[in-house]
Amino acid sequence: MGVVEDTEPPLKRAKRLADEPNGFSANSSVRGSSVNSNSLRDLMARPLTSQGDDETIGSKGVIRKSEFVRIITRALYSLGYDKTGAMLEEESGISLHNSTIKLFLQQVKDGKWDQSVKTLHRIGFPDEKAVKAASFLLLEQKFLELLKVEKIADALRTLRNEMAPLRINTKRVHELASSLISPSSFISHTTSTPGKESVNSRSKVLEELQTLLPASVIIPEKRLECLVENSLHIQRDSCVFHNTLDSDLSLYSDHQCGKHQIPSQTAQVRLNTLL
């Protein structure tokens, strides 16, 4: 037997079902009933519901409270308000990082490369490629710091036994191997304060790790600033009569230029004379 295609519009079909004895509203007619009209609208499309006051914030219930607090905490630490950031973590009960991530980041800052690689594998990231790339980045920094203090044998072992087996970024492995031939020329390009140079390099490693590992685990630097800037750019681009400088944009209210800001008076007249 063939299948009869149902070409009846959804709204008409819903009304027909309401009039049937076994329909979704057998006790009352659709016509003249505001309750049934609301039921029809609910059947046609249901809006996303909030997950609860304890989990989401905002009038539309789409902002996760834990993410919001963590991003604010990250911004406070980035601005140098370490005490305030720590107080926010304690008062909210929402930690910026779990204990394993905290240990990992501290090991990177302290230059404990072997321990940091082990901790990285303990975190349990599902993306194996990202873990390998992060491991390579840590071991590369280990190699460079060994080379700076002229521990050539240790640097070679790191390159041969730890970095090469990862089988990624072979070109970079060859570049580092070539530096072993003349390490003095490589060291000559470093500053006279190797300790400070190491700290700066480790900060760069942390920044690169943020691009490799999930943002939900390590929140990117200046994430809050990025969100606010995007909001301002959207307001500026959607402003019909926009005629102000970006420096005039404010966080205190939504941006909207009025018609009065459109130039309407002649300020200068240029006369072209023919000779």
Residue 198 within any structural domain of the chain:
yes
Q: How far apart, in whole angstroms, are the C-alpha atoms of residue 232 and residue 254?
A: 8
Q: Are residues 206 and 101 part of one domain?
A: yes
Q: Which residue has the tokens 């460079």?
A: 144
| pLDDT string in tens for the chain (275-residue length) | 444 445 555 544 544 544 554 444 444 443 444 444 454 444 444 444 444 447 999 988 899 999 999 999 999 999 999 999 999 999 999 999 999 999 999 999 999 999 999 999 999 888 999 999 999 999 999 999 999 888 999 999 999 999 999 999 999 999 999 888 877 666 665 444 444 456 678 999 999 999 999 998 899 889 999 999 998 888 888 786 666 777 677 888 777 776 666 666 777 777 665 55
| Number of structural domains the chain divides into | 3
Beta strand 56-57 with 63-64 is antiparallel
> Which range of residues forms the domain containing residue 25?
10-44
Q: Are residues 192 and 150 part of one domain?
A: yes
Q: Are residues 171 and 139 part of one domain?
A: yes
How distant, in Å, are the alpha carbons of 54, 86, 91, 170 from that of 224? Answer: 21, 17, 20, 36
Q: How far apart, in whole angstroms, are the C-alpha atoms of residue 145 and residue 137?
A: 13
Residue 266 within any structural domain of the chain:
no
Among candidate residues 212, 238, 257, the one where a domain is terminated? 212
Q: How far apart, in whole angstroms, are the C-alpha atoms of residue 269 and residue 132?
A: 66
Q: Are residues 105 and 27 part of one domain?
A: no
Q: Contact, 71 vs 224, CB < 8 A?
A: yes
